[in-house]
Chains A and B, each alone.
Chain A
Amino acid sequence: MIKFRLGNDEEMKILDYSDLVFFRKLTNKMRDPKTRFDVREFINRGEDYLFNYTNKNVGGVDERRRKFLKSLIFGMAAAAVVGIIPGVSVLVPPTVTVATGFPKSLLIDSSGNPVKASSLPVNSPYIMVFEYPMTGEPNFLINLGDSSGRPVEINPTKVVIPQTGKTYDFPGGVGPNKSIVAYSAICQHLGCTPPYIHFYPPNYVNSGQLTASEPDQLTAAALLAARQANVPALIHCDCHGSTYDPYHGASVLTGPTVRPLPAVILEWDSSTDYLYAIGSVGVAVYPNGSNGIPSQDPTEDLSSSFGTSVGEKITVSQTENPFSS
């Protein structure tokens, strides 16, 4: 800053540095042929012209002030950009889990503890249900027994598909007594789910059940079929009366269904007593043939790579007892 001393200690400010810059710029512009100061115009229009001229060529506000303000503005713009950065995550798609094969899933109970195979009640009327391989696809988890409640070993069988006449292999039960099985809880007739389709333990497979109210009723045909096949317990759908044989891979005992229930392949770890779901066999729930007819190869949809790794945990829940007594 250039200062000018007036006698008794009074200082008068004459020229700021920025003013100096301003003047230098102005004189340069005035001399520059491109932006030459038009003296004649100045005489005509007076200070108006000078004012406009300066404003246009040099700017009204001194450089430093302008620079400072500019940096504030750019700072704010930068703040906006910095603020937007987390927003860029809008471009990152949220992960949607899709199954490329069947995952290996640990079965856990509703409190989060793994289900122990040896403590699974035999012939329980409480149907243990878990969703596998996808949510919304319920399956029964049953520990099968005979009519006096002792666990029964379930052997591997060939299951016949009445619709096509073909067969597929059911691997049998797992667990300490090889008595634990799991079947889809979606009726293969028209898709009824629990409580309409449910498990009838031996004490419910009797003539008393013929007159029970829905969804506990058993048809005479179902009862007869159970006698003939010599099975103490049933899976029965109250919607239209389809009956399945849980001891033989949920094969069809009575119609209207023409397809057995797909079975969930279970794996039992004898060291921990834990149960895993690792895949399914049976007719594809979603037929990939035309017109809703299931594919000729019953394993076509359900045979891909079983049990890759423990990808997730699946909760087993007990649905309410459908029997009123």
Chain B
Amino acid sequence: MGVSDWFKERLGLDDLPFFRTPDYMYNVNYWLGSLVAAAFIYTVVSGLILLLYYNAEAGYSSTEFIIQKVPYGSVILYSHLYGAYAMIILAYIHMFRNYFAGAYKKPRELLWIIGVIMLVLTLGTAFLGYSLIGDALATSAVDVGEGIISSVPGLSIFIPILFGNYDAGYYGRVLAWHIIFVALIGLLFIFHFFMAEHYGIMPSRKVKDRAPAVYAREEWQKFNPWWPRNFVYMMSLVFLTWGFILLIPNALAYLNGLPQQLNPFLNPQPAPPPNSPAAAHITTYPPWFFLFLYKIADFTNDVLIFLFIGVIIPLLYLILVPFIDRSPHLDLKKRRLFTAFGILMVTYLIQTTIFGDLTPGVEISIIQQIIVYLPPAVITLVGVFALPTGSNKKAIANPLGILAVLATSILFAGALITFVVSPSLLTITAFTVFALIFVLSIRNLSPIVLKSEGEHRDAKAVLEKPENRELKKKIAEILISILFILSVVLASQLWVIPSTGYLSNIFGIDLGSIFIMLGEAISLYHYVVYKR
């Protein structure tokens, strides 16, 4: 009996109500949740290590202390930050993917709602965590947050509850809430996870195109058992996620002199403290994940309107969408309005974030708002309703397709705005070109854009030649061996990296690379062993 079986028996893995997975679901598309969870776990663990050193009474100086004095402190701190970033980005991707897949429909409504609540908690946690740095950006972000809260009548009592005596440099409250929020996320995650296992991963639309899209228990009994294949597949994703979380910020730490616009996205180092002369020279930004809110605050002087546009309406919509969209159809073309809303939400989110980054705190007139936000709305609505109807299988059905339409929409909108603002021969040409691409992407390009989807379908009809697959597996095996050698080399190099100072971030880069290679190797192993 192998080690694997030993674990299987001890842990009773076969008896757990874990979803058995059909072959086609071993695709990252169906596993986005595990990426979010991996980022979550990484961030929790690194956060607990930071908790050993962080002093809430001296936020900025203990941050500096962690970066400069604690062995590998900067590696942990930067990757903690980027773990949170990754979690936010992946949570958005996970959510929108499931939005477009219609995964919020029966019977997964509660799963969806818990997910939305977790997103809110995640953003809240991130904001609180960001405030803990105590640099000029954090304190100004807290000022803005406090300002928003206090200008809503009746809400100001929450400021001391939430922030304590933040302005006097006591971050104990913020730290406590930061951890409490994480605990809540963890609790909800347990529900979210077991519910997901209970309903099973949502089947492909080609298998079940109507809600409730679940495999009956008899059907799923035939699929691959959870252990060990799901575990193996999951581990590859987990290590890849961890690898990038470690690699990216530690590599970025060596990037200096970024233009200000890129700073909110790419700079893991804290800004100067708020009481230093250097603080006067930096433009204050909120954390990038709140740039969109920050921008919306420039649209109106009325905080209630701002809160409605920026927070309440989108949130209510997301929570209520399972009950608004009651049709059983999962096909995007059969719920065009919701498709349009989804695309618009993504477009507006990205657009407003970039807008906020380029013009932080600059007031925007109504006319400008219309110029920026009307074209995407018109384009998306027209585009979505111009999609070919009928049982045409080449519908936009995967995230890639959505993304393509999104990209062309944004380009098209940008070209339109440029043309309106400064009409010239050049801008009209650009506009025409992008308009053409846009129309094509909606009408005719869609089957090409969705090639991957097409391939996926054909794969069933024309089975890959066995010799071909054998060759691929051989290559995969060789790759694993190469990755093994590389990782051993890197691991030995890790021992000579100084634990503090300028070079210490190389540790994060190297360890991240090992994790990525390990994840890749496990993924190849999965391919060699399980793929037929």
Contact = CB atoms under 8 A, between A and B. Distances in A.
Contacts of B183: none
Interface in A199-253: none
Contact of A72 (B53, B484, B497): B484
A165 interface: no
Given A60-B529, A80-B511, A80-B515, A89 B499 contact: yes
Given A69-B477, A80-B491, A86-B497, A61 B529 contact: yes
The A interface is mostly helix, strand or loop, or mixed, namely: helix
B56 to A, nearest CB: 17
B71 A94 contact: yes
B72 A79 contact: no
Interface in A279-321: none
A87 B511 contact: yes
A78 B499 CA distance: 21
Contacts of B507: 86-87
Contact of A87 (B75, B224, B480, B481): B75
A84 B491 CA distance: 8
A80 B529 contact: no
A56 to B, nearest CB: 8
A66 B72 contact: no
B532 A60 contact: yes
Given A72-B480, A80-B511, A82-B491, A90 B70 contact: yes
A5 to B, nearest CB: 27
Nearest to B488: A79
Contacts of B75: 87, 90
A56 B487 CA distance: 32
Interface in B507-532: 507, 510-511, 514-515, 517-518, 521-522, 525, 528-530, 532
B168 interface: no
Interface string B465-505: 00000000100010011011001101110110101100000
Contact of A76 (B73, B477, B483, B499): B483
B81 to A, nearest CB: 16
A253 B521 CA distance: 80
A135 to B, nearest CB: 14
B366 interface: no
A77 B450 CA distance: 37
B484 A75 contact: yes
B182 interface: no
A70 B481 CA distance: 11
A101 interface: no
Nearest to A67: B2
B456 interface: no
Contacts of A83: 490-491, 494-495, 510-511, 514
A248 to B, nearest CB: 40
19 contacts: A51-B532, A61-B528, A66-B529, A69-B477, A73-B518, A75-B484, A76-B483, A76-B484, A76-B517, A76-B518, A79-B514, A80-B514, A83-B511, A84-B494, A85-B495, A86-B72, A86-B499, A90-B71, A91-B49
